[in-house]
């Protein structure tokens, strides 16, 4: 597999440690953002017979939905993570979505067939590129003229209590380094001005931004939410303050418990554009 040198760290993260955990907890991670799925798919407007490319598809919930909507067409899920793609393939088979297929590739450099896709979608999988202009230029080539794009991305950390409250709880008073807004991270597409520059430089039309707010699910109960939170954020814990960190975490999760499980408010952008 060709991987851009700047994406080697992401390959390491998603293809091993964190990716293995995501694969093991596929059901929960797929449900985390389920409340956003309808809006993303509506914006993509997938029609029978279309070819869909799902960028950073993970365990493939959006690829399966796209495949179902594409009918006689197909959906290709692309991701860096072999363990997540293995689960994606199993889940597509288990749910009978035969036109959803999966490919391990770095979407920044993979040689996609030119002009082969009608629609590009991504559910929080497009913000980890070292060189997003190069990546979207490559994806631009893969879309046919008139091809549509619908991307779901996180708004800024400050508007996402699931991030601020959980990281603050685990850091136990230590100041947290905020990643630079242009570094690859879940929040790298939070600034519409920056994203517009990336997408228009790659050749796409001026994008539209729809702000969305939905509860983000962290599982049906407190032990599940704790497992999920520690699975992705335990690197924040300093061994000397671990008992306090765990106690803080439980307090935060408890304060977000409701009849529908453990949920946090969250905010995203639904970005749409097209290839002229």
Pick the closer one to ligand SAM by CB: 17 or 211.
17
Is-contact 218 264, C-beta < 8 A? Answer: yes
End-to-end CA distance of the chain: 30
What residues numbered 77-106 form the site for ligand SAM, per CB under 6 A?
Answer: 78-81, 84, 106
Q: How far is the CB of 241 from ligand SAM (least distance, A)?
A: 27
> From CA 206, how far away is CA 12, in angstroms rounded?
33
**Residues 6+ positions from 143 with CB-CB distance below 8 Å:** 53, 115, 117, 118, 119, 120, 149, 275
Among 58, 73, 132, 219, binds ligand SAM (CB under 6 A): 58
Q: How far is the CB of 109 from ligand SAM (least distance, A)?
A: 8
Q: How many residues bind ligand SAM (CB under 6 A)?
A: 23
Name the segment binding ligand SAM (CB under 6 A); options: 66-74, 121-129, 153-161, 187-195: 121-129
Pick the closer one to ligand SAM by CB: 62 or 155.
62
- Our finding on whether 14 is near ligand SAM (CB under 6 A) is yes
Pick the closer one to ligand SAM by CB: 111 or 205.
111
Distances (CA, A) of 74 to 6, 64, 90, 99, 100: 30, 10, 17, 5, 6
- Our finding on whether 154 is near ligand SAM (CB under 6 A) is no
- Our finding on whether 33 is near ligand SAM (CB under 6 A) is yes
Pick the closer one to ligand SAM by CB: 19 or 147.
19
Among 123, 148, 256, 275, binds ligand SAM (CB under 6 A): 123
Q: How far is the CB of 53 from ligand SAM (least distance, A)?
A: 11
Binding site for ligand SAM (CB under 6 A): 7, 10, 14, 29-30, 33, 56-58, 62, 78-81, 84, 106-108, 123-125, 128-129
């Amino acid at each position: 597999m060709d991987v851009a040198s700047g994406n080697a760290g992401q390959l390491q993260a998603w293809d091993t440690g964190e990716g293995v955990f995501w694969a093991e907890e596929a059901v929960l991670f797929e449900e985390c953002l389920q409340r956003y799925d309808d809006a993303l798919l509506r914006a993509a407007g997938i029609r029978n017979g279309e070819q869909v490319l799902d960028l950073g598809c993970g365990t493939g919930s959006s690829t399966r939905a796209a495949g179902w909507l594409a009918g006689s067409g197909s959906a290709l899920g692309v991701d860096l993570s072999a363990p997540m793609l293995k689960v994606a393939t199993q889940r597509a088979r288990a749910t009978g979505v035969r036109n959803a297929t999966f490919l391990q590739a770095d979407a920044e450099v993979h040689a996609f067939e030119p002009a082969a896709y009608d629609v590009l979608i991504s559910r929080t999988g497009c913000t980890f590129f070292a060189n997003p202009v190069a990546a979207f230029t490559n994806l631009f080539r893969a879309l046919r003229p008139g091809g549509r794009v619908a991307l779901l991305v996180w708004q800024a950390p400050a508007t996402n209590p699931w991030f601020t409250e959980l990281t603050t709880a685990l850091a136990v008073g230590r100041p947290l380094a905020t990643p630079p807004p242009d570094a690859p991270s879940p929040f790298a597409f939070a600034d519409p001005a920056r994203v517009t520059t990336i997408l228009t430089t790659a050749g796409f039309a001026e994008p539209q931004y729809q702000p969305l707010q939905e509860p983000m699910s962290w599982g049906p109960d407190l032990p599940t939410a704790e497992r999920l939170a520690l699975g992705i954020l335990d690197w924040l814990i300093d061994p000397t303050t671990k008992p306090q960190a765990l106690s803080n975490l439980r307090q935060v999760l408890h304060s977000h418990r409701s009849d529908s499980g453990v949920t946090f408010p969250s905010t995203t952008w639904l970005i749409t554009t097209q290839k002229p």
